[in-house]
Amino acid sequence: MRGYGRSNAPFTAAARPVTLGGTVKNYHDGGEAILEAFRNLGIDYIISSPGSEWSSVWEALARQKTGNHPGPTYFDVWHETTAVDMAIGYTQMTGRMQAVLLHAGAGLLQGAVAVQAAQQTEVPMLVMSGESLSFGEDPDFEPGAQWYRSLSVVGGPQRLIEPVVKHATMATSPYSLYETVVRCGELAQRQPCGPVYINVPVEHMVHPWTAPAKMRRVPLAPKSQPMQADIEALADRLAKAANPVIEAQSAGKDPAVMPALVALAELLGAGVFEGSSTTHANFPKDHPLHQGANFDAAAKDADVVLLVASRNPWYPPRNRPAGAFIAAIGENPIKGHWVYQHLHADMYLEADVATTLALLCQALVARGVTAETHKARRDSRAKAHDALQASLRAAEATRAALRPVDPLALIAALRKTMPADAIYVDETIVHSPMVRNHLGWNLPQSYFYTYGGLGQGIGVALGVKLAAPQRPVVLLIGDGSLLYNPIVQGLGASRDCNLPILIVVFNNKKYQAMQNNHERYYPDGIAVGQKLWHGVAINGPDYDRLGAPFDFPGVKVDDPAALKPALAKGLAEVAAGRTAIVNVVLNR
């Protein structure tokens, strides 16, 4: 199921049909147009939860393989959410857009939660499904009775997905199909990036297609950089600042950002915070300027706050630091898909983050700022870093021997057992602040928090593994979050696509977030007084046994002494090519 190789040269399609021998014909139709567009967009993978409209693409893929032509690899998976999430994970890791083929309107609705997550995380993606326009009334073409009996959508399936994509359209004819796919692929990769949907009628896909006389390898979207005047103005403020503070949330989606952010922080002697909404590994945890997650407290005393790809740095949104000058850096800091958002920025540098940080460093050096300029401030931040780490380790020590296992003991065991190049995909909820504070990461692209609705962790982790096969991928997931996932389908994709991951279940046997909110809204109510909870308890299965149908091992752990051996064994299973599940019973 791996790829057939890639080439920078476009593949030129011939006219349709061409007889290969006997009764076998080499059809060049709309399926070839779609596949050719994917090739020239540089798409590596077509990930599909398949539907009956895609025969023309499958025929083109068969021709690609038998002809030994370069092009994307095709994966069939068993659920739409899994397909979309694998594309999300792969693109998050590589920066390269992928294609997802779903079925009619029904498949779109199944995958809509994951498509919305791609929108919210600004992941470029091509999402496609089909419909019939003739419903069997064309005497020369039989689309299948299913389109007439059950699959039609008034106004087209694009109406169903419009709210959660950047752009939704229909391919209007077989003659415009190729360029429609190319245009939508280019659109998905422009800021703000996001998923783009194309409805492709099956009649267009089986229609003969002749390739354009000249085709091009579609260039990547260019990176932008800020105006030099803005760089100079911000550099002046930073050079004169008495207490600059940096907060980063999703900057680490670009691996070039981490070293650039380290360079800027070291020049300024500024502390770097990864706040409560951090979604990526932005800054090395062992760096003395890493100041943890308590950004709100630090920002109150700052005179300059630098928000680096930060979407929601304070809560409530009005809770901005009153005395600070706030500068926001990011390709798209103002989120059009959010109902309400306030950064309270006094200045925006809307451009490629790594480029912007490098330009700021250059401007500061030109002003005479060196690593020694703010040594006293840097030393103070280093002491604060050491004190923070000591307090975190002390908190872990007080709970290390509790049974069932305390979540801090589990996170400490992960930190001590997993290799330095491990990649964590996090779909915990109440435990996520502990994960962000206590888990270690020092390499770019070592941490991804799943965003949007629950139920996506397995698919995203598989996509990350597809992009980084040599690095161990560890999915941290609550028992409630796990039950929202298409578990069987995800484990099937892990086996069939050869994508082994380590799944660590944070099993507290409840939807703790539901209880927390009830207690917040009705602290003196009947439910709190009588401990009469609804929507909280989970009578779940033995999660460690869920992999058995796929010959995946699992272990249940409720003794902290067994944590490290269980995690180490799970890691060894992954290295041997099998997904492993470590079901950790927690005390909170």
Question: Rounded CA gap, 260 and 304, in Å?
Answer: 19
User: Can you say whether the dihedral through the CA atoms of 235, 348, 221, 42 is positive or negative?
Assistant: positive
219 in any annotated domain: no
251 in any annotated domain: yes
- Please give the structure tokens belonging to residue 512: 């703790």
214 in any annotated domain: no
Q: Write down the pLDDT at residue 24.
A: 62
Q: What angle do CA 558, 563, 568 make, to 5 degrees?
A: 140
Report cis status (omega within 30 of 0) of the bond before 17: yes
Q: What CATH number is associated with residue 542? A: 3.40.50.970
Question: Rounded CA gap, 174 and 165, in Å?
Answer: 23
392 in any annotated domain: no
Task: Report the DSSP pairing between strands 195-201 and 125-131.
Answer: parallel
Let me know whether 182 and 138 are in one domain: yes
What pLDDT tens digit does each residue of the chain (588 aa) get?
333 233 334 433 334 444 444 556 777 899 999 999 999 999 999 999 999 999 999 999 999 999 999 999 999 999 999 999 999 999 999 999 999 999 999 999 999 999 999 999 999 999 999 999 999 999 999 999 999 999 999 999 999 999 999 999 999 999 999 999 999 999 999 999 999 999 999 999 999 999 999 999 999 999 999 999 999 999 999 999 999 999 999 999 999 999 999 999 999 999 999 988 999 999 999 999 999 999 998 999 999 999 999 999 999 999 999 999 999 999 999 999 999 999 999 999 999 999 999 999 999 999 999 989 999 999 999 999 999 999 999 999 999 999 999 999 999 999 999 999 999 999 999 999 999 999 999 999 999 999 889 999 999 999 999 999 999 999 999 999 999 999 999 999 999 999 999 999 999 999 999 999 999 999 999 999 999 999 999 999 999 999 999 999 999 999 999 999 999 999 999 999 999 999 999 999
Q: Which of 483, 472, 465 is CA-nearest to residue 543?
A: 483
317 in any annotated domain: yes
Question: Rounded CA gap, 234 and 350, in Å?
Answer: 13
Helix axes 353-366, 228-240, angle to 10 degrees: 60
Let me know whether 417 and 368 are in one domain: no
Q: How many CB atoms lie within 10 A of CB 534?
A: 9
Q: How far is CA 57 from the centre of its chain?
A: 27
DSSP 510: B
Farthest CA pair distance, the chain: 83
Q: Which residues pair with 321 in a beta bridge?
A: none
Let me know whether 241 and 199 are in one domain: no
Let me know whether 251 and 180 are in one domain: no
Last residue of a domain, which of 331, 356, 385? 385
Residue with tokens 């009956």: 52
Question: Rounded CA gap, 273 and 275, in Å?
Answer: 6
Question: Rounded CA gap, 57 and 231, in Å?
Answer: 48
Let me know whether 564 and 486 are in one domain: yes
Last residue of a domain, which of 385, 417, 435? 385
11 in any annotated domain: no
Residue 245 · residue 69 · CB < 8 Å: no
In a 3-state reduction of DSSP, which class is residue 505? strand
Let me know whether 125 and 183 are in one domain: yes
Strand locations in 214-276 (E) = 244-248, 271-273
Q: Which residues pair with 448 in a beta bridge?
A: 280, 425
Q: What angle do CA 69, 72, 78 make, to 5 degrees?
A: 130
Q: Which residues pair with 329 in a beta bridge?
A: 308, 349
Question: Rounded CA gap, 234 and 468, in Å?
Answer: 37
Q: What is the DSSP string of 11-28?
A: PPP--S-EEEETTEEE--
In a 3-state reduction of DSSP, which class is residue 448? strand
Helix axes 487-496, 80-94, angle to 10 degrees: 60
Let me know whether 43 and 144 are in one domain: yes
- From residue 463, alpha-carbon distances to 2, 96, 278, 498, 574 in Å are 14, 12, 20, 11, 15
Let me know whether 440 and 464 are in one domain: yes
- From residue 563, alpha-carbon distances to 472, 481, 510 in Å are 18, 21, 21
Q: What is the DSSP string of 37-96?
A: HHHHTT--EEEE---GGGHHHHHHHHHHHHTT----EEEE-S-HHHHHHHHHHHHHHH--
Q: Write down the pLDDT at residue 9.
A: 40
- From residue 262, alpha-carbon distances to 92, 246, 268, 540 in Å are 21, 11, 10, 44
Let me know whether 201 and 240 are in one domain: no
Question: Rounded CA gap, 528 and 519, in Å?
Answer: 6
Q: How far is CA 239 from the centre of its chain?
A: 35
Let me know whether 146 and 186 are in one domain: yes
- Please give the structure tokens belonging to residue 341: 């958002």
User: Can you say whether the dihedral through the CA atoms of 337, 339, 342, 348 is positive or negative?
Assistant: positive
Query: What total of structural domains would you count in the chain?
Result: 3
Q: What CATH number is associated with residue 356? A: 3.40.50.1220
210 in any annotated domain: no
Q: Write down the pLDDT at residue 19.
A: 46
Let me know whether 233 and 351 are in one domain: yes
- Provide the residue range defining the domain that includes 88: 18-205
Q: Which of 55, 72, 219 is CA-nearest to residue 143?
A: 55
Question: Rounded CA gap, 89 and 497, in Å?
Answer: 14
Q: What is the DSSP string of 184-208?
A: HHHHHTSSSP-EEEEEEEHHHHTSB
Residue 256 · residue 313 · CB < 8 Å: no
212 in any annotated domain: no
Question: Rounded CA gap, 555 and 577, in Å?
Answer: 17
Question: Rounded CA gap, 181 and 513, in Å?
Answer: 42
Q: How many CB atoms lie within 10 A of CB 570?
A: 25
Last residue of a domain, which of 205, 240, 273? 205
In a 3-state reduction of DSSP, which class is residue 503? strand
Let me know whether 283 and 153 are in one domain: no
- Please give the structure tokens belonging to residue 276: 């409560």
What's at 301, amino acid-wise?
Answer: D
Phi, psi of 84, rounded to the nearest 5 degrees: -65, -45
Q: Which of 210, 252, 202 is CA-nearest to residue 357?
A: 252
